[in-house]
Amino acid sequence: MMAEKSVEPHIFVILGATGDLTRRKLMPALFHLRTLGELHKQNTLIVGAATPEMSEEAFRLWVYEGLRNSGAPDSPDLRRWCDDHLHYLTVHGGALEDYEALAVLLTRLEGTGRKPANRIFYLALPPTIVPFTVERLDQTGLLKSDGWVRVVFEKPFGHDYASARALNALLHRHLDESQIYRIDHYLGKETVQNLLAFRFANPIFETLWNRDMVESVQITVAEDLGVEHRGSYYQEAGALRDMVQNHLTQLMTVVAMEVPVSFDAAAIQTEKLKVLQSIDPIDPRDVAFGQYTAWSVADRVIPGYRQEQGVSPDSMTETFVAMKMDVHNWRWRGVPFYLRTGKRLPRKLTQVAVTFRPAPFQVFRSLEPESLDPNRLLITLQPNEGFALCFSVKTPARPLSFTSQSLQFDYGRAFGGELPDAYETLLRDVMIGDQTLFVSADFTETAWRLYDPLLAGRHDVHFYTAGSWGPKEADAVVERNGHRWQLGW
C-alpha cells in the first residue's frame, strides 16, 4: 500500500496576491484544505504580497468576501481563519527594501517555535516579471532556510524554446529542480490522475493500448467562451502557445506513455518525456489554424475575435488549432494522434477519444461496411468527469441492424458531490513535495522545441463562425486519414 504523506507546517507566500487567481482559485483551495484537516491549524500561515496599498485587515476582508462568493458558508470559523492565518505586505514595484521587509516578516512569523522554517512561494505574477522576482527572492535570502523552500510557477513558461531554456537556466542558478513546481491545472483534475490508474491498474485496457488494437487517438479541449478580458495577452500568445504546448501536450503524453517502473514523480516524468522525444516533426500540412468571427443568435450578437477588447482589428492570431502528430515508437507507430482546441466552440468539453480498430473480417455481410460504429473509449475530463466504453449491439426484431451503446462511469454519481478542485490537489502536492503532476524543465523545453517550427513559420488562419466546431480545414486534418472527429457520450 502506498504511504500517504502529511502536510508539514509552513508559510504559504503568494506574490501577486490581489489578483483574480488568488481570489477565485488559490484561497478557496487553501481554505478547503484547511477544512479537510490538511493544514496545521496553528502552524500554517498565508502571506499575501502585492503592489496595492492595503492593510492586513483590508486584505483579510477581501479574502473573506471572495471565499463567501465562492460558496464558503458564512461562519465565525471562516472569519476567524482569515483573521488568524492571513497576513499582507505591500511591495512597490519590486524594490529591494520591500523584499527585505518580506524577509523580516517571515522571520517574525516563523519565530522561535516554528522550526524548521518551511516556505512556499506562489508566483501569481505576469511572466515578464517572474525572473526579476526570483532574483529578488534570492538576493534577500528568502530562498534559503533551515527547512525546505518550494517555488510555484504559473504558465506560460516561456514564449518559445529559446525563452523557456533561458528561464530554466535562470531558475537553476537560484533553485534546485526539486524546488521548482511548474503548475498546469489540467494535470490536477481527478480524471487525469485516474487515467494513470485506469490504464495501469486494469490489465484489460492496458493490453489493448497499442498500435495493434488502437486506430486513432483524439484529444479535444473545447471552450465555449471567447478570450474575455485576456485579449491583450491572447494577442501575443494564441491557441498554440496558450493551450496546445501545455495542456493538450500533457494529456497526450499521459495517454501515450509507457508503464513506469514505479508510481512516483521521477518515473512518470521520465516516461512522459520519452513520448515527447518520440514524436516526429509535425508536418505543417497536418495543422489547421482558425479564428472565430461574430455570430448573431436571437437578439444577441457574439463578437468575433477581432472585436474583442485589446485585440487588433486585423489580427491573424489563432483562436483554434487542430493537428495530427505521429509517435515514432514500438507501441504507437502508425497510430495518428489528433489534437484540437478552440474558443467560441458550441460547448465546453475536454475529452480523450480512443478509437479501436475494426474487426479484420466482417461476418455480417448483409450490412454496409460502415454500418457498425467502431468501439471507442471516451474519457471526459469536463464538464462531467467520467469514462464511456462504446460498443455495438443488435437492435430488436428484423431486419438485422446494430446500434451503438455505452457502458458509462460518472464520478459525480459514483462518489457523490463535487470532485476536488484541481488547484486543491496541486497545492497539496506542493505542500507534501510531490512533483508527479508538475512539469519538468526537460519536458517544457522539449515541448517548445516540437512546436517552434510551427510558431516560426507563416501559416494561414481560417475563419469560423462563433458557435461552430471550427473551420472546415480542421475536418480535412482527420478526413484525409479516413477518420472523423469524435464528440461526447
- When mean pLDDT is compared across 200-214, 332-346, 392-406, the lowest value belongs to 392-406
pLDDT over 80 (residue 24): yes
CA angle 309, 312, 318 (to 5 degrees): 95
Task: Judge: domain 10-154, CATH 2.60.450.10.
Answer: no
Residue 176 has pLDDT above 80, yes or no: yes
* CB-based contact 209:201 (threshold 8 Å): no
Catalytic residue among 85, 247, 328, 462: 247
Is residue 487 scored above 50 in pLDDT?
A: yes
Report phi then psi at 280, rounded to 5.
-65, 155
Query: Domains of the chain: which residue ranges?
Result: 10-154, 187-417+457-479
Mean pLDDT to the nearest integer, 402-415: 81
Query: In sequence order, what DSSP letters do the residues of 393-435 get, joined into one string?
Result: EEPSSSS--EEEEEEEEEHHHHH-SPPPPHHHHHHHHHHHT--
CA distance 13 to 15: 6
- Ligand-binding annotation for 44, yes or no, is no
| Whether the predicted pLDDT of 190 surpasses 80 | no
Residue 37 labeled ligand binder:
no
Answer yes or no: is pLDDT of 416 > 80: no
Query: Is 22 assigned to a binding site?
Result: yes
Question: What is the Cα–Cα distance from 420 to 29, expressed in whole angstroms?
Answer: 9
Greatest extent of the chain over all pairs of C-alpha atoms, in Å: 83
CB 67 within 8 A of CB 31: yes
* Residue with more model confidence, 6 or 212: 212
472/458 Cα distance (integer angstroms): 20
- Per the listing, cell 500517504 goes with 4
- Residue 84: what pLDDT? 85
41 labelled binding-site residue: no
When the candidates are 3.40.630.30, 3.40.50.2300, 3.30.360.10, 1.10.150.120, the CATH number that belongs to 187-417+457-479 is 3.30.360.10
How confident is the model at residue 364, as a pLDDT?
62
**Segment 284-294 mean pLDDT:** 94
> Helix, strand or coil for residue 346?
coil
The reply to whether 189 sits in an annotated binding site is yes
Q: State how far the Cα of 11 lies from the Cα of 406, in Å rounded to an integer.
A: 48
DSSP 23: I
Say if residue 130's pLDDT is above 80.
Answer: yes
Q: Does the annotation place 21 within a ligand binding site? A: yes
Q: How far is CA 379 from CA 209, 245, 334, 370, 443, in A?
A: 14, 21, 22, 24, 24
Q: What is the pLDDT of residue 360?
A: 67
Q: How far apart are CA 298 and CA 399, in angstroms?
A: 43
Alpha carbons within 13 angstroms on the beta-carbon side of residue 248 total 30
388 carries a ligand binding annotation: no
Q: Where are the beta strands (DSSP E) in 82-137?
A: 86-90, 119-123
What one-character DSSP code corresponds to residue 19?
Answer: S
**Is 348 one of the annotated binding-site residues?**
yes
Whole-angstrom distance, CA of residue 464 vs CA of residue 472: 8
Cell of 159: 514564449
- State the pLDDT at residue 371: 60
Per-residue model confidence as pLDDT tens digits over 76-94: 888 888 888 899 999 987 7
State the pLDDT at residue 362: 63
Q: Is 25 a known ligand-binding residue?
A: no
- β-strands 287-293, 119-123: how paired? unpaired
Label residue 185 exposed, middle or buried (CB < 10 Å: 0-12, 13-18, 19+). middle
Residues 17 and 50 sit within 8 Å (Cβ to Cβ): yes
Give tens-digit pLDDT for 49-70.
999 998 999 999 999 888 888 8
Q: What is the mean pLDDT of residues 238-254?
A: 92
- pLDDT of residue 141 exceeding 50, the answer is yes
Give phi and psi for 7, each to the nearest 5: -80, 130
Query: Mind listing the pLDDT tens digit for each residue in 336-366?
Result: 999 999 999 999 999 999 999 887 656 665 5
Coil, helix or strand at residue 325: strand
* Whether pLDDT at 478 is above 90: yes
Cβ-Cβ contacts under 8 Å for 352 (sequence gap 6 or more): 195, 217, 218, 219, 251, 255, 378, 379, 381
Residue 483 known to be catalytic: no
* Cα gap 19→238, rounded to integer Å: 22
Is 274 assigned a ligand-binding role in the annotation?
no
Residue with the three cell numbers 455570430: 295
Strand partners, 465: 293
Q: Is 20 annotated as a binding residue?
A: yes
Average pLDDT estimate for 206-221: 93
Mean of the pLDDT values across residues 134-141? 94
Average pLDDT over the chain, rounded to an integer: 87
Among 335, 331, 330, CA closest to 199: 331
Q: Which residues pair with 217 in a beta bridge?
A: 337, 354
Residue 18 assigned to a binding site: yes
